[in-house]
Amino acid sequence: MSTLARLRRWIGKHLVLGLGLLVLVYTFVPIAVVVLMSFNNNSKSKNVYKFQDFTWNNWLHPFKPGGMKDSVILSIEIALLATLVATILGTLAAFALSRHKFVGRKAANLIIFLPMASPEIVMGSSLLALFVSRGFGGQLGFITILIAHVMFCLSFVIVTVKARLSGLDDNLEQAAMDLYANEVQTFWRVTFPLVLPGIIGAALLSFSLSFDDFIVTNLNAGQEVTFPMFVYGANQRGVPMQVNVIGTAMFVIAIAIVLGNEIFRRRQEKALAA
Amino acid sequence: MSQLHESTTTDRPASGSRDLRLSGLTKEYAAFTAVKSLDLVMPQGSFFALLGPSGCGKTTTLRMVAGLETPTSGAIHLGDTEITYAKPYKRPVNTVFQNYALFPHLNISKNVAFGLERRGVKNVGQQVADMLELVELTSQAHKKPAQMSGGQQQRVALARALINQPEVLLLDEPLGALDLKLRRGMQLELKRIQTEVGLTFVHVTHDQEEAMTMADTIAVMNQGVIEQMGAPNDLYENPKTTFVANFLGQSNLIEAEIQGREGGQVKVRVQGALASIPTERAHSESGKGWLGIRPEKVLIAEAGHPIDAPGDVITGGFITDVSFVGVSTQYMVKMPWGQELMVFEQNTGARRMLPVGTKVDVSWRPEYAFLLDASQDAKAGIEED
């Protein structure tokens, strides 16, 4: 076989793999930049966003820039609370929307998608108008941010949990009842464990939606500054390299969650096979 | 009802205290009535089959017994206890679901232990192990349902229901998803287990062969009512309606004019020829009727040749189709009045296969014929597939 033909075969075999890798590179280059920049010492020139010198300093003093620590803590607090409230309310709503028949159910199922479909700037400004018109114009802050975040997280939670519920075989709950489980036991022993992956997925989604929201938050935050708002503000003067530290940390945590989940699943499978 | 008791309890010790009784059981939905005032007794310890085409109400009936569907009216009794409106988890009844409905998040032994644990039974390990041994799945105890084949899942579903020692075990087309060979094996297995544990099995199926193989008593359901009930061979040999005649096996139904009774026989005129039917097999008294004869009971011979052990003879047919299926040969015979009769002949080797176009005479022993009401649809119960 000639070298050319061999090369062609090799390319044919590896084309899909190669393209896939290229797409991955495309997706991960920005993240790689963030990780790299978290080790950048930009003390020479604050206004040039360029890798100058390697340093551990950003990681050792991540909260050095003024106001950044408060903004990160605020964002995490809001994200946790918004996730909690949206996940609980959304899960209950998803059960109601998929299990109970009531007038307006179809309409409700449709309206759920509106917050996801409408531009954030519209939602954010309408919400602001609502707060101001109700006389909360002077009290914009933690509570109004939280309300706003719960609002846009809710539809994602409802849609995610509903999808999980609709994939659930009715027969399973009937089988549980047939096997002497009463309504409460059926819910906690069968329904809930089977819907749980959907609920967890919805919670993770809510957390990241809330943590990185800028537009809606910016309109309803009053004097408060969340992490995305801090980054935006800092951007005017030159982004502190510590922002990359927080970004990298979030990325690492997300990867750790996914990996942890995968390892747990594989261990379980191994235990089963043994 | 009395006929049912005779046919199923003869070889059993006196039972009856825990029979499953349905009385006037009705289920109406907005658009149609699924089950119409059903009266049925399923004797304790029997293997009872509800047989019918899809949509006949058999599954609805089963679900009402399980408590998964609330009857519109009527009552369900288990012995002296009324369970019509009892919650599913308060009935000594367990179900093997059509798609098995195994809990995907629990492993096999947890699936099997589920019922006992919900009832607060402690130390279920030994019982679970015994049950898994009964269904030959001991080595699979720690697998999840998704890791098992259809046949294995079916056995888990059975074990999960049986371990609770219910008074009645309901089987909703439990073998429908299995391939033919596996199904045959499971049929025998189910029958063996039923005999071993002695529970009342109520088996819903649309597969007439399955029902006949396993059940002591079959109730043939059609459009929400029971057409006929009895032991498999009684139903097969002496169907009372055209639906049963066609749904349970195949039948030739020939238009006949009833001439009257003579001794133990009902005389009929069939397209010019005379035929007779024993009175106990005649389910129509006067006017017109359908003379029914099973294809394997029809004898065939070349025109003018002697027929072995003939009964009533009709001449003038010719063969339009022959299919050789190994153990038998299936002929379609066009009769002078245009109807095609099915004839199944055992492949005994006594005579060569008759080719298409051969002029033939057909005959049958009068004691195998049956007579049905002419007002019934001769095509009722013929399956399209």
Q: Domain spans of chain A?
A: 3-59, 66-239
Q: Are B185 and B192 in contact (CB under 8 A)?
A: no
Residue A274 has pLDDT above 90, yes or no: no
Provide φ and ψ at A169, rounded to 5°.
Answer: -75, 120
Kindly determine whether residue B103 and residue A175, on different chains, have CB atoms separated by under 8 Å.
yes
Tell me what ipTM this predicted complex has: 0.80
Closest CB to B101: pick one of A175, A185, A271: A175
Rounded to 10 deg, the angle between the B150-162 and B108-118 helix axes is 20
- Residue B330's DSSP bridge partners are B323, B344
- pLDDT, residue A267, reads 81
Kindly determine whether residue B87 and residue A172, on different chains, have CB atoms separated by under 8 Å.
no
Kindly determine whether residue A171 and residue B99, on different chains, have CB atoms separated by under 8 Å.
yes
Please give the CATH number for the structural domain made up of A66-239: 1.10.3720.10
Provide φ and ψ at B197, rounded to 5°.
Answer: -90, -20
B168-172 and B93-96 as β-strands: parallel, antiparallel, unpaired? parallel
Ranges of each domain in chain B: 2-92+166-237, 250-373
Closest CB to A179: pick one of B68, B143, B164: B164
B200-205 and B47-51 as β-strands: parallel, antiparallel, unpaired? parallel
Closest CB to A178: pick one of B88, B107, B143: B88
B217-222 and B47-51 as β-strands: parallel, antiparallel, unpaired? parallel
Kindly determine whether residue B87 and residue A177, on different chains, have CB atoms separated by under 8 Å.
yes
Residue owning tokens 């609709």: A166
Q: What is the pLDDT of residues A232-247, one digit of tens each?
A: 988 887 788 888 898 8
Closest CB to B118: pick one of A171, A180, A272: A180
Degrees to nearest 5, angle at CA A67 with A65 and A68: 65
Distance between first and last Cα of chain B: 33
> Chain B contacts of A171, Cβ < 8 Å?
97-99, 101
User: Taking every pair of C-alpha atoms in chain A, what is the biggest distance, in angstroms?
Assistant: 82
> Chain A contacts of B110, Cβ < 8 Å?
none
Please give the CATH number for the structural domain made up of B2-92+166-237: 3.40.50.300
Q: What is the pLDDT of residues B75-109, one digit of tens each?
A: 999 999 999 999 999 999 999 998 899 999 999 99
Q: Say which amino acid occupies B223.
A: Q
Residue A30, min C-alpha distance to chain B (Å): 39
Q: What is the pLDDT of residues B216-239, one digit of tens each?
A: 999 999 998 999 999 999 999 999
Kindly determine whether residue B94 and residue A171, on different chains, have CB atoms separated by under 8 Å.
no
Chain A residue with the nearest C-alpha to that of B89? A180
Superfamily of domain B250-373: Nucleic acid-binding proteins (2.40.50.140)
> Mean of the per-residue pLDDT values for chain B?
88
Residue A228 has pLDDT above 70, yes or no: yes
Q: Are A75 and A217 in contact (CB under 8 A)?
A: no
Chain B residue with the nearest C-alpha to that of A191? B103
- pLDDT, residue A272, reads 59
Q: What is the pLDDT of residues B16-46, one digit of tens each?
A: 478 999 999 999 998 889 999 999 999 999 9
Domains B2-92+166-237 and B250-373 share a fold: no
Q: Are B310 and B363 in contact (CB under 8 A)?
A: yes
Residue B384 has pLDDT above 70, yes or no: no
d(CA B343, CA A267) in angstroms, rounded, equals 63
Q: What is the pLDDT of residues A176-214, one digit of tens each?
A: 999 999 999 999 999 999 999 899 999 999 999 999 899
Q: What is the pLDDT of residues A42-101, one digit of tens each?
A: 777 766 777 888 888 888 888 888 788 899 999 999 999 999 999 999 999 999 999 888
Residue A178, min C-alpha distance to chain B (Å): 5
Separation in Å, CA B126 to CA A115, A232, B116, B340? 54, 65, 12, 61
- pLDDT, residue A27, reads 92
Q: What is the pLDDT of residues A120-172, one digit of tens each?
A: 999 999 999 999 998 887 888 899 999 999 999 999 999 999 999 998 888 99
Closest CB to A181: pick one of B68, B89, B104: B89
Mean pLDDT of B169-188: 85
